[in-house]
Amino acid sequence: MVHRSFEINRLSGAIGAELTGIDLAHDLTNRQVDEIHEAFLENLVVFFRDQALTPARQVALARHFGKPLVFHFAKGMAEAPEVTEIVKEPDQQKSFGDMWHSDSCYLPRPPIATMLYAVETPPTGGDTMFANACLAYDALSEGMKAMLEGIRVVFSSSLKSEGGRAAAMAERAGMTATNMDAVDTFETEHPLVRVHPETGRKALYVNMHHGVRFAGMTEDESRPLMAYLCRHIARPEFTCRFRCAPGSLAIWDNRAAHHFAINDYHGQRRHMRRVTIDAA
């Protein structure tokens, strides 16, 4: 598929497309912005390679999608507070984001999109997988769909099971933790079946990382169905896998795509820059 501004090459039948022939380091035309946004909605995650982006330029690019956010629990870059650096050093075993999830689902209004730029990547490993939660919903039986209607998921920002969020920031991402006094205050509910505000498609919105239980139910009662739905979302036919390199940029729709950073590069360094984006 060829657009006037760039070429689109889909990564899988389910999700993801690589956009080539466009330089994001320069100002974009209104047509280019519209075409990128169209590809973003259609494919849920779009990828660009060989891009030379400063932190300031990354933030400026994010503004085409909405309002760049400052991450609640880690300090941003001095020159661009909206940019969070995610670094795994060779001596670290744990990594950040190595579970299926969508970003900041514990907020009353989670970010609509996330932008991840690769500064340094290992020669092998360090890929990210993405899953289409709309296709996952579509594949459910009519009986299951009917049962899920009206269920709400309770999400929490606490990571007590992993030694606390402050420990996770330091051990997994080389981040400087902040606002730890508020780590247990972010708890909210969202519909398990979420309707995309721009496309109208229904998507499953649940994960085992911050999803605590279903509203009105205990954790023990909720866990079996939550675990089944999370496994269902991650079925291979709903996913794609992206091999990033320095200069690669991924932008995904946090409302309908789940992602998983694969931790298979022990002894090597990975340095990424992340910006989450709210509705304008």
Sole residue written with tokens 């508020």: 182
Element (H, E) at 117: strand 113-120
End-to-end CA distance of the chain: 29
Neighbours of 60 (CB within 10 A): 16
Active site residues: 101, 103, 259, 274
Q: What DSSP assignment string belongs to 232-252?
A: HHT-GGGEEEE---TT-EEEE
Q: Are 40 and 251 in contact (CB under 8 A)?
A: yes
d(CA 15, CA 73): 30
